[in-house]
Structure 1
Amino acid sequence: MPDRRLSVLISGGGIAGGALACLLAQGGHRVTVVERDQGIRSSGNPVDVRGDAFDVVERLNLVSRLQDAATSVRQLVFVDTAGQRLASMATRWSQDREVEVPRADLSAALVNAARDGADFRFDDTIFEIEADGHGVDVTFERAAPDRFDLVVGADGLHSTVRRLAFGPESDYLTDLGMYVATVRLQNALERADTVLMYNEPGAATALHPGTGKPIAAFMFRSTTQVNSRDADAAKELMTAVYGNAGWRAPELVAAYLAATDTYFDTVSRVRLPTWTKGLVTLLGDAASCVSLFGEGSSSAIQGAATLAESLDASPQNVPAALARYQAKHRTVTSRRQRGVPIASHLLVPASRAGITLRNSALRLARRR
């Protein structure tokens, strides 16, 4: 009887890669994960696990662990320069079947669940990919070359696998004219269930309570082009944008400028006509960056489940499995991509009139 197990290389040990490794290992496949960082990667920024993604982590018996690591956030409150409430909105879709959890904790839970069935190679990355009709030869920066039945790029917005197999990042990534920056603070906030956000036209400053140590977040619109890896340029842009901002922005920006452990990146959209090229496919943000504010993690977990189910169903016909995965999951990512402009204008209105309209609409909605 033919061996129904596949040899799968996953590039990326974050949420998408960890979820897929766990699911494929459960199906008996031979799984290798290569991750350029020296340990489990991802920031502590909070992300949501809800909907079909919650069903997946429930099947993996991870709900109790995620609930233990979860934040207590239930609402987002928009404030004025004095910190007084202007409007608010609920942040949860379900009271008992969703969690908001630090990204690093979600990654760790998924990776640790996969460790017994997958080979994790940290501090390494893919250098070259050569695919034929029967497999993929992979050269690594550190490890010896190897051959796999399938390579999955789950390595994020700036995917190495996508660049090697599909072409330069500029062909598929569109800058949306926004930036996001975060920094972790030391002193706990007064309320653990509330995110506070202050807006000026084209710029938002937020305080998230996290799980003890709060997070300051900055989301702003700018036509200035900055390399996200250039820390000095990022700080210069932050100073220019928030130089005259109100509320607690001066204090929080100062904390960001003084910190060494920060996050800064453009808000970008990833779109490809196909996620698959031969026996190489993409997953998560590498395939379709769909969200600004944490929803991409649920999409990544859902996509991992769809890909694993497709491969389990026809391991002897990988191209057919990849076609089914893309056809099914693209309906999910396309819908979420269409919602990104709405979310961006809700949280970061471009004008003073937009801020006023947003707040009025939220107050009206709460009265109904």
Structure 2
Amino acid sequence: MRNVNVLISGASIGGPALAHWLIRYGFKVTVVEKAGTLREGGQAVDFKGETHESVLTRMGILDDVRRLQTGGADQEIVDANGRVLAVIPGEFTGGDLEIRRGDLSRLLYERTAPHCEYVFGDSITSLTETPAGVHVTFERAAPRTFDLVVGADGIHSNVRRLAFGPEADFVKFLGHYYALVELGADFGQSATMYNEPGRMVTVGGTKATAFFVFASDPLEYDRYDAEQQKAILARRYEGMGWRTPEVMKAVSQAEDVYLDSLSQVRIDRYSAGRVALLGDAAYGNTLGGFGTGLAMVGAYVLAGELAAANGDHRAAFAEYERQMRPYAKIAENGNAGPFLAPGGGAKMLLRNWTFKSKFLLGIMMKLTDKYATHIELKSY
């Protein structure tokens, strides 16, 4: 496969995971990432069930993920006075293995960087398929031609926009936004959640990350402008009780802010010609609980099928879609927004009661187990 040259857009999770497998199979790989460096921190991501564990084992990184795991601690839901209303079990939020997104991203990058080309601080501006491959232009680098291009660049995928069409055709806004803010402050406790109708804040730990979810109409803002995002959060959380004023003071001084919509990707195909989509670009459902696992499994399947097809992208992409479409169906369902930030007092009580009921919690846990393992992995 040494003559097959693949460009991957996105250096978060799916892109480096795909690079790992393609390198192993002898492909020549370039990864382009819009950010100037790897994005550290971020929310915890989790793996669940034998399918996810099998992929991590076959990659040879299971022990490293276990070494870096965060533990999946229980999370308390409290009222404005700090009285505990319910407890979310760690196994519900953290699966079998939980790791910070930034730690997983760095692990994958360090495993692949010596064997492929990473280009940070650049982005694709056009994709033109030719008989020789895909002619690619960039914001900064000189144009190049690649045999294949893979968009692993998230729910707002630039590759999907260029190769498939406008984002509005494929991404459904779910009526909520979420934000992650690295506070760098000591909140001296494990993660604690507080709700008021239509908004939620969770914070805790010695190097706390604040997590916000709030109901909203669509917002216009620059996703790369931290000050704009902090201003939105300040307006949305003004007057909120509990420790929220203390949290918002820390937010105003923070440098690392990430605000985005809760959205779902609805697309009828994962490839177009020599271009394919992976992870959230193809089957994203924000905060749906399966994004990282889907990306890691998708990378395994896509690379394996390209190797099995001896680089024949038509056969490989068709088989990739045949396998992943049923497995990724979970991403077409569910909306975490109303669950995390219920719209009224009665809905908050019902959500909290779910975690008090061993029966209901058991049903939810069994369903997640089923979804996480609903694919039979080939041995490539």
Q: How does 1:243-282 map to 2 (within 5 A)?
A: 243-282=238-277
Name the residue aligned to 1:73. 72
Q: How does 1:130-149 map to 2 (within 5 A)?
A: 130-132=128-130, 134-149=132-147
Runs of 4+ in structure 1 off by over 6 angstroms are none
Contact in 2 for aligned 1:182/1:256 (Cα 8 Å): no
Q: In the aligned structure 1, how far is the partner of 2:53 from the partner of 2:93?
A: 11
Aligned residues: 359
Contact in 2 for aligned 1:5/1:315 (Cα 8 Å): no
Q: In the aligned structure 2, how far is the partner of 1:123 from the partner of 1:234?
A: 21
Q: In the aligned structure 2, how far is the partner of 1:92 from the partner of 1:188?
A: 25
Q: 1:43 to 1:270 in 2, by over 3 A?
A: farther
Query: So what's the TM-score if we normalise by structure 2?
Result: 0.87
Name the residue aligned to 1:85. 84
Alignment of 1:215 with 2:200, yes or no, is no
Q: Which amino acid aligns with 2:201?
A: T
Q: In the aligned structure 1, how far is the partner of 2:106 from the partner of 2:173?
A: 30
Alignment of 1:17 with 2:10, yes or no, is no
- Residue 219 of structure 2 is aligned with which of 208, 214, 225? 225
- 178-187 or 3-12, which deviates more: 3-12
Q: In the aligned structure 2, how far is the partner of 1:331 from the partner of 1:265?
A: 27
Give secondary structure in 1 for the equivalent of 2:114.
coil
Give secondary structure in 2 for the equivalent of 1:205.
strand
Name the residue aligned to 1:357. 350
Give secondary structure in 2 for the equivalent of 1:116.
helix
- Residue 344 of structure 1 is aligned with which of 337, 341, 350? 337
Q: How does 1:45-84 map to 2 (within 5 A)?
A: 45-51=43-49, 52-84=51-83
Q: Which amino acid aligns with 2:85?
A: L
- Residue 175 of structure 2 is aligned with which of 170, 173, 177? 177
Among all aligned residue pairs of Structure 1 and Structure 2, give the percentage whose two residues are the same amino acid.
38
What displacement does 1:88 show?
1.4
Contact in 2 for aligned 1:4/1:316 (Cα 8 Å): no
Contact in 2 for aligned 1:4/1:315 (Cα 8 Å): no
Q: Which amino acid aligns with 2:144?
A: D
Give secondary structure in 1 for the equivalent of 2:260.
strand
| Cα distance per residue 1:115-161 (max 9 Å; x no partner) | 23222222222222111355212122333322222100111122221
- 130-139 or 347-356, which deviates more: 130-139
Alignment of 1:195 with 2:195, yes or no, is no
Name the residue aligned to 1:157. 155
Contact in 2 for aligned 1:182/1:218 (Cα 8 Å): yes
Name the residue aligned to 2:366. none
What displacement does 1:98 show?
3.2
- Residue 241 of structure 1 is aligned with which of 219, 236, 239? 236
What displacement does 1:93 show?
5.9
Q: Which amino acid aligns with 2:356?
A: R
- Residue 206 of structure 1 is aligned with which of 190, 202, 205? 202
Q: In the aligned structure 2, how far is the partner of 1:242 from the partner of 1:143?
A: 41
Q: Which runs of 5+ in 1 are unaligned?
A: none
What displacement does 1:63 show?
2.3
Q: Which amino acid aligns with 2:241?
A: G
| Cα distance per residue 1:311-367 (max 9 Å; x no partner) | 1110242111101111211222221331x32x3332221111000112223213279
Give secondary structure in 1 for the equivalent of 2:119.
strand
Name the residue aligned to 1:305. 300
- Residue 36 of structure 2 is aligned with which of 38, 52, 75? 38
Give secondary structure in 2 for the equivalent of 1:219.
strand
- Residue 107 of structure 2 is aligned with which of 103, 106, 109? 109
Q: Which amino acid aligns with 1:72?
A: G
- 116-125 or 37-46, which deviates more: 37-46
Contact in 1 for aligned 2:226/2:255 (Cα 8 Å): no
| Cα distance per residue 1:64-90 (max 9 Å; x no partner) | 322332212322221111112111122
Q: In the aligned structure 2, how far is the partner of 1:100 from the partner of 1:115?
A: 24
Give secondary structure in 1 for the equivalent of 2:191.
strand
Contact in 1 for aligned 2:229/2:258 (Cα 8 Å): no
Contact in 2 for aligned 1:67/1:99 (Cα 8 Å): yes
Q: Which amino acid aligns with 2:65?
A: L
| Cα distance per residue 1:217-268 (max 9 Å; x no partner) | 1101012523253555534432332222111111112221232321111112
Q: 1:129 to 1:264 in 2, by over 3 A?
A: same
Q: 1:263 to 1:124 in 2, by over 3 A?
A: same
Q: In the aligned structure 1, how far is the partner of 2:270 from the partner of 2:323?
A: 12
Query: So what's the TM-score if we normalise by structure 1?
Result: 0.89
- Residue 330 of structure 1 is aligned with which of 322, 325, 330? 325
Q: In the aligned structure 1, how far is the partner of 2:293 from the partner of 2:4?
A: 25
Q: Which amino acid aligns with 2:299?
A: A
Give secondary structure in 2 for the equivalent of 1:155.
coil
Q: In the aligned structure 2, how far is the partner of 1:271 from the partner of 1:224?
A: 18
Give secondary structure in 1 for the equivalent of 2:283.
coil
